[in-house]
Amino acid sequence: MLLSFWATYCPPCIAEMRSFQLLSDQGRTIIGVSLDATEPKRAAEILAKQKVGYPNLVLDVDSMKQVGAALEHGLPFAVVLDAKGRATKLLSGELTGAHVEAALR
């Protein structure tokens, strides 16, 4: 599974959504996590415009404190989880489908 942390103010985050959607369409588990606690409607607009069908959620302000690593590394930022839900890889910077596919193997 890939957890992709993103924000409406992050162009690379939005750009990688197309690759993530293709991977999701191929059966990979992708979950988007928006850091736009104050802009949930804007996040929903971007998801609709990008035709994102994989699950997404918006963290609230208190939850953002729990994602300190994402803020430390900057956005975009992703975490690969194994079948038991353990983080196995941390990925930062804009990702392509090939990057994600390799990380998920």
- CATH number for the segment(s) 2-104: 3.40.30.10
Instruction: Write down the residue that tokens 């736009």 correspond to.
Output: 36
Tokens of 40: 């949930």
Q: How far apart are CA 18 and CA 96, in angstroms?
A: 9
Q: What is the pLDDT of residue 19?
A: 92
Q: How far apart are CA 12 and CA 67, in angstroms?
A: 19
Does the structure show a pLDDT above 60 at 66? Answer: no
Select from 42, 11, 23 the least CA-distant residue to 105: 23
Does the structure show a pLDDT above 70 at 63? Answer: no
Q: What is the pLDDT of residue 77?
A: 85
Instruction: State the pTM of this model.
Output: 0.83
Map out the domains of the chain as residue ranges.
2-104
% residues pLDDT > 90 (the chain): 50
Does the structure show a pLDDT above 60 at 88? Answer: yes
pLDDT digits (tens, 9 = 90+) for 31-57: 999 988 888 899 999 999 999 999 999
Q: How far apart are CA 95 and CA 86, in angstroms?
A: 21
Residue of 54 and 96 predicted with greater confidence: 54
How many C-beta atoms surround the C-beta of residue 58 within 10 A?
19
